[in-house]
Structure 1
Amino acid sequence: MKVQILAAMVVVATVVAMTEASRVPPYLGRDCKHWCKDNNQALYCCGPPGITYPPFIRKHPGKCPSVRSTCTGVRSSRPKFCPHDDACEFRSKCCYDACVKHHVCKTVEFY
């Protein structure tokens, strides 16, 4: 009986530990190369080590589209993650996307 209780306690402790670990971002940023701000102005690592991006030289003209308040789940293509504009094509900007919770290349707006 004591063994079963101990085993149940170990299972519960493991589940709790895994749940808490899932709340931690996948990369905490000790060696982060690029930091970005999300839609709440909180910093997060948008350029983890192991991923090579071109150097930042200049901002692309135009502005980012407004951050969506809802996500449709429909995309025409896979998003391209980025830490800054120079990681995107010239007619795109590196903008925060609330649906993927990361900066991605988006078509610029000029108005």
Structure 2
Amino acid sequence: MKVQILAAMVVVATVVAMTEASRVPPYLGRDCKHWCRDNNQALYCCGPPGITYPPFIRKHPGKCPSVRSTCTGVRSSRPKFCPHDDACEFRSKCCYDACVKHHVCKTVEFY
């Protein structure tokens, strides 16, 4: 009987630990430099350690294009990852891309 209770307690503790771990953003405790929100407003590390980005000074004008609902798998060039607008060229903004699950530099929209 004691073994069954102990086994049940271990299972419950494991489930609780796994649930809590799924809420912790990646790179926690590893000196994440920039945190961003994905299209579901969940925080993730968009500036992992070991990568240097220019400092954030101001947002670029315009707005991000709408987040795509489907991914084609076809790209004309490799995406440029970013934690904020100043890591992109002036006519680009740092926007979340659901296909690569990260912020990337995208051409701005003005309408």
What whole-Å deviation, never above 9, does each CA across 1:75-107 have from its counterpart, x for those lacking one? 010000000000000000000000000000000
Aligned residues: 111
Identical amino acids, percent of aligned pairs: 99
Change (3 A) 1:2 1:40: closer
1:28 Cα deviation after fit: 3.9
What whole-Å deviation, never above 9, does each CA across 1:17-53 have from its counterpart, x for those lacking one? 9999999986345310000000000000000110000
TM-score under structure 2 length normalisation: 0.76
Structure 2 unaligned segments of length 5 or more: list them: none
Distance 1:32 1:88 in 2: 19
Distance 1:99 1:54 in 2: 25
RMSD: 3.9
> In structure 1, the residue corresponding to 2:9 is in which secondary structure?
helix
Is this contact kept in 2: 1:29–1:45, CA < 8 A? no
User: Counterpart in 1 of 2:76?
Assistant: 76
> In structure 2, the residue corresponding to 1:13 is in which secondary structure?
helix
TM-score under structure 1 length normalisation: 0.76
The structure 1 segments of at least 4 consecutive aligned residues displaced by more than 2 Å after TM superposition are 1-30
Structure 1 unaligned segments of length 5 or more: list them: none
Distance 1:14 1:102 in 2: 30
